[in-house]
Amino acid sequence: MRVILAYKNFAANRNISHIGLGVAAINTAKVLQRDGIDTQVWPVLSHTDLSLRLAASPADHVIVSAPWIATVQLQQLCQNFPQTTFSVNCHSNVGFLQADRNGVKLVRESMELEMGTSNFHLGGNCRRFCDWVRQAFALPCAYLPNLYYLDDSSTFSERAFTGGTLRIGIFGATRPLKNLMSAAGAALEISRNMRVPLELWMSSGRAEGGGESVMGAVQEMLHDLPNVKLVQNGWQSWPKFRRVVGHMHLLLQPSYTESFNMVTADGIAEGVPSVVSAAIDWAPEHWKADVDSVLDIARIGRQLLHDARAAADGGKALARFNADGGRAYRQYLQI
């Protein structure tokens, strides 16, 4: 059995892209390969590109990351490659889809395509989305989660914050649904409460859907405060970003809605814990804070900074998630 994870290569840089969908596909493929499933990642430019590659190198399953191929083109792929099972894997939970009207349209059309086609399925990378489709539309939705590759020899060193400049990272695309203002406010409270200088690191170069206003508000909040430095980290390759994450003492990811959250997993791989919201349901329970309470985010953050075992707890949670996700893929692939 051969499985292809195909995503739209927005960068189109020698078939290498460090956008989130590509990083997620690479990690998922590595986990499935370790489980003995022949899996490859294809960055593609269009449905035509995907069709040409399939004609040259057939596959049993093609899982398209995110709804972006027009439904009529998906139908053509299903007709032209009847021995291949296609799926479109929605990369967001329901709440985030409010920012993607066309994505909602394509999801609805995918439901109809599945009803009229024998080799196509709609999927979602979080159970909450899949359960919603099943309950709201009385239609199937395959659970095909993001998986995150951790080396079998991975160990998590025990470390806690012992003083000096506190480095806190709030990473990811600058979007209102990421709740960045609350995270920045919590970082400020943590540094003041602990009486240490603060370096607040935030991603820059990818502001979407009102993100410019969010970053502007954060800058106004931190302007001219003593011992507080805002570091804007430009968009970069994933390996370089991982090194930046490893430079942090703590990450803050209190998103209003998520379907996985790659940054939290990156932090775990680098030995850095995260304060998260309940939307990141796979993370340890004691990492989760009330998204609408800045002081609760700060409280959890202080606890994690002083917990030498925090990263190891995250590693265990991510390993459990990978194991459960692997079972979901084997069930979908009928292995």
- Rounded to whole angstroms, the Cα distance separating 257 from 217 reads 21
> 66 is written with which tokens?
């995110």
- Rounded to whole angstroms, the Cα distance separating 139 from 111 reads 7
Q: What is the pLDDT of residue 155?
A: 67
Query: CB-side exposure of 65: number of CA atoms within 13 Å?
Result: 26
Q: What is the mean pLDDT of residues 224-250?
A: 93
> 31 is written with which tokens?
């986990």
Are the CB atoms for 198 and 191 separated by under 8 Å?
yes
The pLDDT tens digits of the residues spanning 263-307 come to 999 999 999 999 999 999 999 999 999 999 999 999 999 999 999
pLDDT cut 70: percent of the chain above it: 95
Q: What is the pLDDT of residue 16?
A: 42
Domains of the chain: 2-147 (3.40.50.2300), 166-319 (3.40.50.2000)
Sheet holding 85-90, edge to edge: 38-44, 2-8, 61-65, 85-90, 120-124, 142-143
Q: What is the pLDDT of residue 14?
A: 46
The overall average pLDDT reported for the chain is 93
The pLDDT tens digits of the residues spanning 70-97 come to 999 999 999 999 999 999 999 999 999 9
- Rounded to whole angstroms, the Cα distance separating 280 from 253 reads 9
Q: What is the pLDDT of residue 5?
A: 98
Q: What is the pLDDT of residue 3?
A: 98
